[in-house]
Amino acid sequence: MSGYQEIQEATASEPLTLEEEYQMQHSWRQDADKLTFITCQPIPSASTASGEADASESSQAASSYKIKPMDDDASDRMIGDVNLFLKLEEHGSNDQELENAPEEVVVGELELMIAEKHLQRRGFGRASLVCFLNYVVTHMDQILSEYQGHTGSMKAGESEIIAAKRLEYFVVRIAASNERSVALFKSLGFTAVSDEPNVFGELELRKYSLEDSGELQAWMKHYGIDAYRELPYN
């Protein structure tokens, strides 16, 4: 099996034509129910530049660093992506976490991918996911406000649910055979809905109540992620 086939299997995706790729890129740019971050190799720091800067100098340099378009995010520096899909889903009556929620709730489905094998198992996936979730939680009001105005897929009555400006939980569906990804999400507090995979051979894991930034900070400290910053483009 080739590397591309392995990625397609791991992400449950199908090969696309060039035209379909362009259409998908346009959709991702315009649709308010989708959010994607491209994971790139780490930006230069004071320590890598001089080889002798201390931690405080390195941190200060990183905080003032401005991304150089077509350089820091050039295609040869891209190593993967992390995505969020907002959608309305019905929940079962036996879901105790949503006992008092409406029949349909807004959920955020996550996807994570580090493409090259030699870059996997080096912490890039977990760091990407933690930083992405940090961004989503920080900008939740803005994200859900844009989704509320996204009427293309809304049916009568859905606007009231979306207007609640609340994302009930994050969900990820992973091939049961992909033990590393399952372990990664479980390490961040995601729990399996069932021990048995669904008809597609996937396990569904959920994470409720990620509104406390303290939990995100604890993850970062535990896994050696130095800091989360939003860096402007030049």
Mean pLDDT per block of 10 residues along the chain (234 residues) reads 54 62 65 89 62 53 73 91 89 60 81 91 94 92 84 47 69 94 95 93 90 82 86 70
Identify whether the C-beta of residue 205 lies closer than 8 Å to the C-beta of residue 193. Answer: yes
Q: Where are the alpha helices (DSSP H) in 121-232?
A: 124-138, 140-148, 158-162, 179-187, 213-222
> Tokens at residue 66, please?
């401005």
Residue 68 is classified by DSSP as -
Task: Report the interhelical angle of 213-222 vs 124-138 (nearest 10°).
Answer: 160
**Rounded Cα gap, residues 140 and 209, in angstroms:** 13
The dihedral formed by the CA atoms of 155, 160, 162 and 165, expressed in degrees to the nearest 10: 170
> Tokens at residue 25, please?
């890129």
Dihedral angle sign, alpha carbons of residues 176, 177, 182, 183: positive
In CATH terms, the fold of domain 31-222 is: Aminopeptidase (3.40.630)
Q: Are strands 169-175 and 104-114 parallel, antiparallel or unpaired?
A: parallel
Residue 41 is classified by DSSP as P
**Rounded Cα gap, residues 129 and 232, in angstroms:** 20
Residue 189 is classified by DSSP as T
**What's phi and psi for 87, nearest 5 deg?**
-155, 160
With vertex at residue 164, the alpha carbon angle to CA 161 and CA 168, rounded to the nearest 5 degrees, is 80
Query: What pLDDT is attached to residue 46?
Result: 44
Query: What pLDDT is attached to residue 232?
Result: 72
SS3 state of residue 89: strand
